[in-house]
Amino acid sequence: MIDQETLALGFLWYVAFLLSLTCHEAAHALVAKWGGDLTAAQAGQVSLNPVPHMQRSPFGTIVVPLISYALQGWMLGWASAPYDPFWQARHPHRAAWMALAGPAANLLLVLGAAIAIHAGIWMGDFTPPQSIAFDRIIQATSGGTAQALASFCSILFSLNLLLMSFNLLPVPPLDGNTAIGLLMSEQAALRFYDFSRQPGFMMIGLLIAWNVFGQIFHPIFLGAVNLLYPGLTYG
């Protein structure tokens, strides 16, 4: 039986999760629209309304996150924004900017959570914790609403740091694999995309990302938290 505290934390997790994925995919859709590809815009995904994104990926935005929270205590899932592959073939650098837009949106949410955390400290509602965890970057000085906000800010900070870092890995089918096309000529980028987007390479890329990300993310996480609190050291 799930207790009320677990349910309440799950609600905060799901709100942060949906906000993070919606901003990520909406950013992809918006930059694609600016670059001339209206595919995602016509599907209603240039929007901070999570419904179009949930309708496109119901399994990744509803089923998997709820199951992963029930089993593991944290949420895993995905969404996607459609794009025109012929547009990418004509404009590989524009496609690279589109790919970077999603992780950039997650970075903005990390910064927004950091600002909210420092605002809470300034107002006396928050204080840095003795030890940190994924959902305990900041703690409240009292219970109730302050504690809920502290948990939400912690999850929002950590989750978006994770989404940004994971999606920037330069392996297919992640955003980083498309984004590195900016370091090449357009012709070279297009050849690279054609080569790396083969189904076999996508599966290999996901396996590599899944196996190495834990080792990569831990120092990123600690570094970000220590930047959040100058003068304090967490390890």
Is pTM, for the whole model, over 0.75?
yes
CA–CA separation, 20 and 157 (whole Å): 10
Q: Is residue 233 part of a domain?
A: no
The structure tokens 């309440």 sit at: 8
- What's the pLDDT tens digit per position in 141-163? 998 999 999 999 999 999 999 99
User: Count of domains in the chain?
Assistant: 1
Inter-CA distances, 174 with 67, 131, 177, 179, 224, Å: 23, 32, 6, 9, 22
Q: How many CA atoms does the CB half-sphere of 157 hold within 13 Å?
A: 29
pLDDT of residue 203: 84
In a domain, 203, yes or no: yes
Whether 174 and 207 have beta carbons less than 8 Å apart is answered as no
pLDDT (0 to 100) of residue 1 = 57
On average, the pLDDT of the chain sits at: 94
Phi, psi angle pair for 46, to nearest 5°: -85, 70
Query: In the prediction, which pLDDT does 199 show?
Result: 78
Is residue 235 included in any domain, yes or no? no
DSSP string over 20-67: HHHHHHHHHHHHHHHTT--HHHHTT-SSS-HHHHHHH-HIIIIIHHHH
DSSP-assigned letters across all residues of 92-108: HHHHHHHHHHHHHHHHH
> Which parts of the chain have pLDDT scores under 70?
1-2
Domain that residue 90 falls in: 4-228
The C-alpha angle 139, 154, 44, rounded to 5 degrees, equals 150
CB 61 within 8 A of CB 50: yes
Those residues with Cβ within 8 angstroms of residue 185's Cβ, 6 or more apart along the chain or in another chain: none
Q: Residue 227's closest CA among 100, 135, 113, 120?
A: 113
List pLDDT tens digits, range 212-228: 998 999 999 999 999 99
Closest to 19 in 3D by CA, of 61, 58, 55 = 61
Nearest to 110 by CA among 66, 60, 165, 61: 165
